[in-house]
């Protein structure tokens, strides 16, 4: 990562997004970071996009890879007012964006409309986090949807947690086609 000069929040977001894209493209092709960033973003945003996950929760196994990949970006951009929570959201957006087919007229723009999301250590009481310590890997334990939900329960979870319609939920479930299943995750 090189020196960053930016005058506006939009320029900062553009520069951070370029760094994230570069990390994805430079990474070992056997590790699909784009898919890992999308999964990581979902796990972070259940309960609120706060830049923290509970790594003691087995459902979060494997999230150490995207967390470590994003640490240099977090380190560089926090002094611009971009929080760790912002970087993690931006990585999920870029992971989604970069997996689209070039030139497809149905491609979506995944814009980052604002920065300044608080990190979990700024939001939670220590008792809410693992070992009463809130940080990026010791966030609050969040209830992720069970892999055994039926259709009704899945639609209800996404409606209650994110305000998603049935159509939105079907679309987000398609994100599972980005990556591959690994026993350790």
Backbone angles phi, psi at 148, to 5 degrees: -105, 15
Q: How many Å apart are CA 106 and CA 147, to the nearest integer?
A: 29
Do residues 91 and 53 lie in contact, with contact meaning Cβ atoms separated by under 8 Å?
Answer: no
Residues 35 and 177: their CA atoms lie apart, in Å, by 9
Tell me the pLDDT tens digit for each residue of 132-157: 888 999 988 888 888 899 999 999 99
Q: What are the pLDDT digits (tens) for 93-144?
A: 999 888 877 777 787 788 888 899 999 999 877 778 878 888 999 988 888 8
Q: Name the pTM for this structure.
A: 0.85
């Amino acid at each position: 990562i090189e020196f960053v000069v930016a005058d506006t929040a939009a320029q900062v977001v553009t520069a951070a997004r370029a760094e994230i894209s570069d990390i994805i493209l430079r990474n070992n092709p056997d590790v699909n970071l784009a898919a890992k960033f999308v999964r990581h973003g979902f796990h972070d945003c259940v309960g609120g996009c706060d830049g923290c996950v509970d790594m003691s929760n087995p459902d979060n196994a494997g999230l150490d890879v995207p967390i470590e990949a994003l640490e240099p970006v977090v380190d560089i951009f926090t002094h611009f007012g971009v929080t760790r929570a912002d970087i993690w959201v931006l990585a999920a957006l870029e992971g989604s964006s970069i997996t689209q087919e070039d030139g497809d007229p149905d491609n979506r723009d995944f814009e980052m409309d604002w920065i300044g999301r608080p990190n979990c250590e700024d939001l939670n009481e220590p008792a809410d986090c693992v070992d009463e310590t809130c940080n990026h890997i010791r966030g609050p334990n969040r209830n992720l949807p069970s892999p055994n939900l039926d259709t009704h329960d899945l639609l209800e979870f996404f409606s209650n947690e994110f305000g998603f319609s049935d159509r939105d939920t079907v679309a987000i479930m398609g994100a599972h086609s980005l990556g591959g299943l690994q026993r350790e995750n």
